[in-house]
Structure 1
């Protein structure tokens, strides 16, 4: 496929998305059904879809360099009849494309599945406990990143630090507590560890595999402990729901400093010199800073995020984006001056650098892109270029995404 044809495909997609994704200027708080005149009795419904056109220079020779996919399609519902308790459910699918679609859609992956389902109770002012299939993750802000209001096209993949290893798509079944002591917000959880993980590596004396809950069958290997703590230096950020906002587009003044942990006793398994299975603890720690403020000319704002994360998945662990070692990640974006009666633009850049104990080569990913907000986060287009350097090879990707949420 020649370059002219590839560019034409991208602009065809851009034109389609612009024509059909203007969103509504009357969107104010989403679909919220109130029961009577009491604001404490309601059900809120949120739905969103993200469609992508992707170019990659690493696709098989028998496939086009340009592909299309439905990145996400979701429905989230939550509600309460009194302030003291709330229930939330969240279903959807991810990354539907020509390679994983089924002829009649009734088998295979991806499928529509339950992302979240939990109930929570207010036990004191500013303190809540709950349980179920939940997203109150510890470790870092990006480990609980929401996908409704990302600044970059998608989350830093390695920051969903246990996706498919100890959880179901970044969600665990367990119990959690969350709240705040003054300006210090917290969420902690004790969870079950998934048995059927993405790690299918063969057991070895040279490296660990993340299959402790499956292979060891011990009480320790079956539980995960996690938490995240953030101090709000400027305004208080809402922690009503766990989904962290990527960019507030100048509507908040926030400076949050956070720290978190993830501890899975005997989460990984390695063979000792006698060939016997031996459990190894999985320990992850992170420090991060989030800054989002209006700045300069009317309507302009700055969003910045930085994180250091120490990863110990076990001896010489390496599987896809996950590895024992260190990770540094940062992104920043600038929303150009203007008002949301018109299209707004936000150029941004991101960088990820990871050291990998098991390999002599490190991984680096550089990204640059821009958002075009047609109606704030409710209707936007994102164009992003990423270049990844890993294990002596460089992979370049160019993606265009159209998103609408209501």
Structure 2
């Protein structure tokens, strides 16, 4: 085990320092201004996350250490007139030796459209828009940016609709967003997908619910879903120009927010009665959360704290892959930034923990994560090492160690 950890660390630092040094003077990245005050612009953001993962207990013919590209993305948005904006986001996720295509033209993990929406301003603080968008409900983590997460990755159960009602956490629909004083809001009406993760699953008479409302009951009754998230900002105001919530500010802001959100899909799931009759069950998810991020003292230290309670109702005894399950969840994480004397290199040890109640197994699941970030140039250039262990009911999963090298420009 120790030998593999040394190998992972070496590979991470070779990748990180051998291919990119990052830059302390990022200054907004690739942004082209079309006028002097910068109100007309075009911006490109690019990022990549490379993973090396070690799993201790695997079958004899399976490698314990594996490499993958967790994310490779490009996001572009432009505003030529202050009254409208357009955004396009594409890339790939979790590309590895098992799902690569010989020619790059096949496979579900290849390049695809993550988002594309247009937005129109309604004054200085409000806007409406539509398209394949990421203005989600439920919680801060369901709107999480993948550029600046504090933990290695987002808490998976917080992205509560991926592949069930949407395309990778993005719905086609319309949204409204804005701010009223210190209260920010985002609400949306969306289409629900038909060909989801359960597109070939049929409900069993007297059995658990299946997420197949639109496919089996029709788009009139089960075609739309509704979402919203509302957060109040007690200290510094966060930007809501784009939907992506920041994971950790590393002490550059003093933020304390409290939020609440929901997702509601009428007849989203389907039950089969004992006589074979199909009936719909509403899918409803709601959450409350709190986020605190602030500098500590004058030496560059900073504290990040997040906590959420989420209630998931996907239908009677619903469960899918130990990820989507009817029940409730408590999740939280804490991180602390420790800079070196020159403040350029910063370390951020952190801990995360979740506990979920699961109706289908009448038991709980818990996940503990321990990790640290090494920031060479803030989130633009960082290395993360994390150990994660999950206990699901009476079964304890093998611990997983992951090393990530990330760069974004």
If the TM-score is normalised by the length of the shorter chain, which range does it land in?
Answer: over 0.9
Q: Which residue in the other structure is 2:7 paired with?
A: 9
Q: Distance in 1 between matches of 2:243 and 2:385?
A: 27
Q: Is the 8 A contact 2:337 2:349 kept in 1?
A: yes
Correspondence list, 1:224-303, <5 A: 224-303=225-304
Aligned length: 404
Q: Which residue in the other structure is 1:114 paired with?
A: 113
Q: Distance in 2 between matches of 1:15 and 1:263?
A: 44
1:137-157 deviation per Cα after TM superposition (whole angstroms, max 9, x unaligned) = 001000010000000000000
Is 1:401–2:400 an aligned residue pair? no
Q: Distance in 2 between matches of 1:102 and 1:58?
A: 28
Q: Is the 8 A contact 1:177 1:187 kept in 2?
A: yes
Q: Which residue in the other structure is 2:337 paired with?
A: 335
Q: Distance in 1 between matches of 2:104 and 2:58?
A: 25
**What is the SS of the residue equivalent to 1:137?**
coil
For residue 14 of structure 1, report the CA deviation from its aligned partner: 2.6
For residue 58 of structure 1, report the CA deviation from its aligned partner: 4.3
Q: Distance in 2 between matches of 1:82 and 1:401?
A: 39
Q: Which residue in the other structure is 1:28 paired with?
A: 27
Q: Which residue in the other structure is 1:129 paired with?
A: 128
Q: Distance in 2 between matches of 1:284 and 1:405?
A: 32
Q: Which residue in the other structure is 2:374 paired with?
A: 372
1:195-253 deviation per Cα after TM superposition (whole angstroms, max 9, x unaligned) = 00112443122210101011111413100100000011111111111011000000111
Q: Segments of 4+ in structure 1 off by > 6 A?
A: none
**What is the SS of the residue equivalent to 1:131?**
strand
- Given the two structures, how large is their TM-score scaled by the length of structure 1? 0.97
Q: Is the 8 A contact 1:228 1:259 kept in 2?
A: yes
Q: Distance in 1 between matches of 2:123 and 2:298?
A: 42
Return 5+ residue gaps in structure 1 as ranges.
none
Q: Distance in 2 between matches of 1:171 and 1:349?
A: 28
Q: Which residue in the other structure is 1:220 paired with?
A: 221
**What is the SS of the residue equivalent to 2:371?**
strand
Q: Which residue in the other structure is 1:363 paired with?
A: 365
Pick closer, same or farther for the CA change 1:177–1:273 going to 2, 3 Å.
same
**What is the SS of the residue equivalent to 2:51?**
strand
Root-mean-square deviation over aligned CA pairs: 1.3
Q: Which is further off, 235-244 or 86-95?
A: 235-244
Q: Which residue in the other structure is 1:192 paired with?
A: 191
Q: Which residue in the other structure is 2:310 paired with?
A: 309
**What is the SS of the residue equivalent to 2:15?**
helix
Q: Distance in 1 between matches of 2:382 and 2:159?
A: 24
